[in-house]
Structure 1
Amino acid sequence: MTKKRSGRLPAVVVLSLMVGLSITGVVGAQTVWELQTAGLEALAGGDYYTAIEAFGSALQINPQDLGSTVGMAESYYWLGEYDQAQGLASRALSLSRRDPEVLTLNGRISIGSGDLDAALDYFNSAIAVEPNNVEAEIGLAELALAEGRNLDATLSLERLLRIHPEHQKALLSLVLVYEQAGDFETAERYLDIALQTHGNAPETHILAAEYDLRRGNNDAAAAHARTAQALDAHSTSAARIRATVALLDERYIEAIATAEELLRGERTDASVWFLRGQALVGAERIEEAMDSFRTALRYKPDDEIIRLVAENIAMREYPMEAPIRSEFAAYAAERADYFADGYLYSKALSSYRRALRLTPFDVSLRLSYAELHRTLGHTATFLQELAVLTDAGQGTPEIDRRISVYENALSESVAFQWAIDQFTLSKSKTSIAVFLAGGSTPLTHPLSERELLKSITTNLESLERVDVRESSVSSDFPDAFARARSEDVDFFILLWLTDSPRSFGLDATVHVGRTGVAVTSISIARVGPTRVIDTLDAFSRRVAGMFPFQTTIIRRRGDLVLIDAGLRDGIAEGAELTVLAPEAIIVAAGAIEYSYDAESVLGSIKITRRDDLISEGIISVDGLVDAIVVGDTAVMPGETVLERSSGALYPLLYDRVRALR
């Protein structure tokens, strides 16, 4: 993006640019030209820290050097430090308002800062100065991707190729765009052209290797990685792909050796420690693997996928009293407390449940979880959680006192009046199967997809009215459909996961179990330090609200009935439900709804009192004959509106194309 250049920068700017910048060991007797050259070489090689030091040293000697200002702005841009980059780029623009390169750099930084209107103005200004400016055209394509206009991006890139048929970034960008669209034939055609015209560039082979990995062509991916490393012996990306291929091919010793080779160059790379840990798990060296995961988390404590994988392995491989389980539980509990203090109760419940799966009999933890339910008005659940501790021999006089107080307080509750244990009921649920689509491999965290699927399944299993009968990887739709029918589920869900360094995404299609008809799709993406947990929690909430409500009559006393749905199911006092024989209701052939014949309606229930998991109601009979019996089904007709939403600033495809150089 940047070339050597010079210009005048007001001396006052230097004070704002140089605060906090280390410039030792670079200035010496070097000239501005030499320092700018060193900065450009470092920038071209992706060594942004060295580039910033060199450009900063040049600016210390000559605060009015435009080229170093532009180079420094670009370095911060590639680091994702858009506020710092914006200040530098604005200064450069004040010196050279009609320079297409400076205008384009400002446009790209504006995308990163979220000011898309300004980005469009900058790119158009660059093209007005120099029609068909390559970098500005690329910038417009990136802007289109950021806005989700993939077709516009494709047209822009292909228009650019008609003028510059061998432009590397345009070719590689089109590979990613067509891959995202599922047009693999066209993607591979552009990839072949890129390899023919830029086969001497290591980044071309890196992209080809990553593409092959996503397509499951491990041998081809390894070959491209070796070529990239032959072209650039210091390519960590190539070595990382080689290690990933070895891991996926179960060559664990090779994967461990390659990861350790990478760590000799960069000890603080959490992703390599994670890769090493996965290989050690495969080699059944669990203690070493956990040490590797813990090291990864020491360097990157907010990497949720590493933490989820480590937690799941700890639960599988270590007894409940193991210190490692307590260590992971403490982190989850701390986050739960943080969410609860911020009134983010859904997230707090999810984090407490994670912690309790690791250490089920931690008294302090279970008390905190119980207190949260009490705060939410789930008094019976609060009492049940205290009983769990006493049943496990963890009771205390204070816990016993509180149990006595709340048992007395609940003496008029629905459960007490009906003499029923609402927490051991076999509730009526919507049955589902969840399948992770084959090839849905998060490259940033290899072999994490099964652990992520396990976490997704665990979240879904915590839902009151969802029964997950199968959860596994499926090769394709026919396989998933056949397995869903064999499990006789109401619905099945096909999942795809997308993992990048700054974002995490989940796409899903929901199908009727008996017909395979797709009835809706879900797309969720999140950024930020809790992006993975936020995505999984959002998916669970979406699923919880997706299926039509149904409940079962479990007791009857005259005109009063008891149903297996309560406060925690969201049922409202005064709600009216329609009663049918269970055999009269089926899942609609092509929609998320139940179908039944109006003539099969037996009557209705009006809810009069609620408990946490059960409710009492009064029945009204349709017609002269009262045919309502225990075991009948009650439904609540209503429309479910599903929205396609994303918490990510931009689509994941934009992140991939932006990263191309």
Structure 2
Amino acid sequence: MGGVKIIKRFASVTVCAFFAVCVSAQSKSALSLYNEGQNFQSAANYYRAIESYREALDINPRYSDAWHALAQCSYELDQFELCVQYCDEALKFTARYSDIQNLKAMALISLGRLDDAKTVFNEVLSRYPNDVESRFGLAQLSLFNGSLSSAESMYLDALKRDGTNRKALLSLALVSAELGKDAVAQRYVNQALQYHSGNAQVHFLAAYLALRRNDFVDAERRARSAIQIDSSYDAAYKLLADILYAQKRYAEVVDMCDYRILHNRSLSDAWYLKGLAQTQQGQIEKAIASFNTGLSLNPQDEIMRLALEQIVDQNLPIEDARRSTWAAYHIAKAAEYKRDFKGPFERYEYQRALTIDPLGSAARQKYASLLSRDKLWESYLQQIRFIEENRPEVDLSSFVQTDENSPVIKKSSQQVENEDYIEALDSMMIENLAHTWNVDPFYLDKTRWNISVYYVVDDVQLIHPDAERIVTQAVCDIFRGEATTAVEVDSAAVSGYGEAYRLARAAGKDYFVILSVEEMERSVRIAGTVYSARTGTKTADLSVYRTGNARLASALRRFRQSLLALLPIRGRVLAHASKTILTDLGKNDGIEKGAEFEVVRRGTISTVDSGPGIFYRESDIVGTYVAEVVDEELSSGTFTKRGFYDVLNDDDELVLVKLPSKETQDADGSVLTDTRPAGDADGNAATEAAKEANREAVREDLMVAATETPLIEMIRSIR
């Protein structure tokens, strides 16, 4: 009996010991998984780290440190909604309130919930008045609101509480530089270098700030120091290559890019910079090869694609067969937009394709189909006639005879369709204005505005060096081939406003634009200040901010719309007979039947002294004109003289006074109205398409919850 009791007691002790061991094993397992995750997280292997943390949480769902670490990894992977969710879970099981709340607030900023983020930061400060990280967060909110001085004050408060804080010193240096306080910025940099000389990022940002003030020697020295401290710091290698490029040391730039590519061939930005350097060396084919490789790795890199297309346009023969390959990208993009019923986007892509491959029948046929869809039959006829006249000749001997008399060339269905349309439309055009008045509208000089676009390199582009030059050229290209607006761009930067004004006025321009580009990882801003070339006064400020895919193309289209809406619709009297006159304004200029104009003596119209719009004296008005017959490029109607004598002459000018009601206008515009001036005499949007474009731009701006800048992006990178 006693033996049985001993056995039972032993079994009970064994079972208890077993469960104790299991519990201990579980606890250790959760901790070891957490530590494993920490190692992965330190190596920036966030996916493996997340896997380890999740396994730890499966064992212990109340493990607050694992929830917090999971939130940190989600933040690094831009999964901000998950980050907020995990922070809330972590807060249930921990007393580490400030760290988790600050991370949650930073994720809220990334989600555009700025007011919610501000509330969280203020809650932290109410409990922990000396918390430095929450002050950093409030400073970032000030930067989003455009208040640099407020952000500076917040960083100074943080620095008072921790005089050697690396993030505070570097943030203050960046903000001070943005405010133009270079000496103050340098003082903060020197302090950061004094306290944190062994930190590679401190030397990296010191190099960046030196490059901003064109101190290439110090910039190169600091970049090389960052590399010596951390030989795997790829951003420092890239910055060093940028510094060498700024000094025109192109051979060294290529070597540096090759070194980066050797270690990671998928670095598309290295291929981009290598292509730029090779272009500057005159090695065009090598540059094309570099850009092609970069685009194969990152097809969404719009600036690299523009750089490639610009050197192709400037250096390769128009007959080069490779042009069709590069144009095919835009044809495919246009097809995507067509499926989504995005007409303006589709039209832009076909225009880009034709810029790259003017002789390409594929792009031109698609472009012609847009014209037919908009019922622009005169322009459609011009395009398909060009296609057929430039179709490659075919050797008849290679075809089989269908009878004993003549060989027959095998024609595609598209070719047959084009030939049928040419025949039908030629007969239709007998009664149009061009035939009636014996005028060929496609050879008219319809230039009314001459604008120069300049850029000033006054900032460092960390993502795409030379972005200002490439985007400025792209602004010029989107007007190319359109008769009504001539936009010229200088191939080199101007030193500033003074040089731009001098050049534009000497060239007799109407306006000049000084362009700037701000590029972030996921957004871009194109800003331009428009000036009168006659007086040098400001006409307007234009700014376009876009995020998401195809953001640069979207920004370019919107910038074009904004500029065209400032330019009054102007025309010219081509001929007159009795009370009927022929003008060079038509449907493609946004004109409809019933449009009213004032007719002004030629050479008497000038831009106003300041602001948009035009000026002419009342005494220079010779009468009024109302459009009655409106073709695509021409219109005719009734002229009513002003005064007793009829002093109307050919080449007198027309200024739009009033368009018919909006019910008669197409708010979506057309493939040709996209590129024509669309303003009234006061420089306000006149056509319904231009007004709708302005309304759409407002809607797009409201959709952007928070506008990032390169400064914010740089500060957020500080660890």
If the length of structure 1 is used for normalisation, what is the TM-score? 0.89
Distance 1:90 1:129 in 2: 18
Residue matched to 1:256: 254
If the length of structure 2 is used for normalisation, what is the TM-score? 0.82
Q: Could you tell me which of 215, 227, 234 is aligned with 2:232? A: 234
Give the Å deviation of 1:396: 2.8
> Cα–Cα, structure 1 residues 619 and 127, in superposed 2: closer, same or farther, change >3 Å?
same
Are residue 530 (structure 1) and residue 550 (structure 2) matched? yes
Aligned-partner SS, 2:443:
coil
- Confirm or deny: 8 A CA contact 1:579 1:602 kept in the other structure: yes
Q: 1:76-475 residue pairs with structure 2 within 5 A?
A: 76-96=74-94, 99-393=97-391, 396-462=415-481, 464-472=483-491, 473-475=493-495
Residue matched to 1:650: 707
Aligned-partner SS, 2:478:
helix
Give the Å deviation of 1:440: 4.9
Give the Å deviation of 1:55: 3.9
Give the Å deviation of 1:97: 7.7
- Confirm or deny: 8 A CA contact 1:247 1:279 kept in the other structure: yes
Comparing 536-545 with 258-267, greater Cα deviation is found at: 258-267
Distance 2:280 2:56 in 1: 50
> Cα–Cα, structure 1 residues 547 and 45, in superposed 2: closer, same or farther, change >3 Å?
farther
- Confirm or deny: 8 A CA contact 1:371 1:382 kept in the other structure: yes
Give the Å deviation of 1:133: 1.4
Q: 1:482-631 residue pairs with structure 2 within 5 A?
A: 482-631=502-651
Give the Å deviation of 1:108: 0.9
For 1:607, the aligned partner's letter is A
1:54-84 deviation line (CA, Å, top 9, x unaligned):
5455446644432222122112212322233
- Confirm or deny: 8 A CA contact 1:440 1:449 kept in the other structure: no
Aligned-partner SS, 1:275:
helix
Give the Å deviation of 1:622: 0.8
Residue matched to 2:660: none
Give the Å deviation of 1:314: 2.6
Comparing 208-217 with 500-509, greater Cα deviation is found at: 208-217
Comparing 461-470 with 622-631, greater Cα deviation is found at: 461-470
> Cα–Cα, structure 1 residues 44 and 135, in superposed 2: closer, same or farther, change >3 Å?
farther
Give the Å deviation of 1:99: 0.6
Aligned-partner SS, 2:479:
helix
> Cα–Cα, structure 1 residues 511 and 633, in superposed 2: closer, same or farther, change >3 Å?
same
Distance 1:86 1:114 in 2: 13
- Confirm or deny: 8 A CA contact 1:578 1:634 kept in the other structure: yes
1:335-372 deviation line (CA, Å, top 9, x unaligned):
11222333322222221111112222222321110111
For 1:317, the aligned partner's letter is N
Give the Å deviation of 1:45: 6.2
Give the Å deviation of 1:548: 2.2
Question: Tell me, which stretches of 5 or more residues in structure 2 are unaligned?
Answer: 1-26, 393-413, 658-679, 686-693
What CA RMSD, in Å, does the superposition of the two structures yield over aligned residues?
A: 2.7
Distance 2:231 2:510 in 1: 54
Give the Å deviation of 1:448: 4.1
Comparing 92-101 with 382-391, greater Cα deviation is found at: 92-101
For 2:515, the aligned partner's letter is L
Give the Å deviation of 1:38: 5.7
Give the Å deviation of 1:41: 5.8
> Cα–Cα, structure 1 residues 428 and 293, in superposed 2: closer, same or farther, change >3 Å?
closer
Give the Å deviation of 1:310: 1.5
Are residue 634 (structure 1) and residue 674 (structure 2) matched? no
> Cα–Cα, structure 1 residues 258 and 56, in superposed 2: closer, same or farther, change >3 Å?
farther
Distance 1:480 1:131 in 2: 51
Distance 2:46 2:307 in 1: 31
Distance 2:218 2:276 in 1: 22
1:12-62 deviation line (CA, Å, top 9, x unaligned):
xxxxxxxxxxxxxxxxx9965565456546645655456445545544664
Give the Å deviation of 1:530: 0.5
Aligned residues: 635
Distance 2:576 2:258 in 1: 67
1:525-580 deviation line (CA, Å, top 9, x unaligned):
21111111111111111111112222211221221112222212212321211111
For 1:411, the aligned partner's letter is I
Larger radius of gyration: 2
Aligned-partner SS, 1:584:
coil
> Cα–Cα, structure 1 residues 628 and 192, in superposed 2: closer, same or farther, change >3 Å?
farther
Distance 1:463 1:185 in 2: 49
Distance 1:97 1:528 in 2: 39
Give the Å deviation of 1:492: 0.5
- Confirm or deny: 8 A CA contact 1:280 1:288 kept in the other structure: yes
Question: Tell me, which stretches of 5 or more residues in structure 1 are unaligned?
Answer: 1-28
Aligned-partner SS, 1:608:
strand
For 1:342, the aligned partner's letter is D
Comparing 135-144 with 650-659, greater Cα deviation is found at: 650-659
- Confirm or deny: 8 A CA contact 2:476 2:488 kept in the other structure: no
Residue matched to 1:8: none
Distance 1:614 1:632 in 2: 15
Distance 2:181 2:575 in 1: 56
1:316-347 deviation line (CA, Å, top 9, x unaligned):
33334444322211111111122233332222
For 1:546, the aligned partner's letter is L
Comparing 642-651 with 200-209, greater Cα deviation is found at: 642-651
Give the Å deviation of 1:632: 0.8
> Cα–Cα, structure 1 residues 187 and 378, in superposed 2: closer, same or farther, change >3 Å?
farther
Give the Å deviation of 1:116: 2.2
Distance 1:97 1:374 in 2: 69
Please identify runs of 4+ aligned residues in structure 1 that moved more than 6 A: 642-645
Distance 2:40 2:159 in 1: 29
Aligned-partner SS, 2:273:
helix
Distance 1:464 1:107 in 2: 52
For 2:106, the aligned partner's letter is R
Distance 2:173 2:630 in 1: 57
Distance 1:596 1:82 in 2: 57
Distance 1:351 1:584 in 2: 38
Aligned-partner SS, 2:625:
strand
Give the Å deviation of 1:501: 1.7
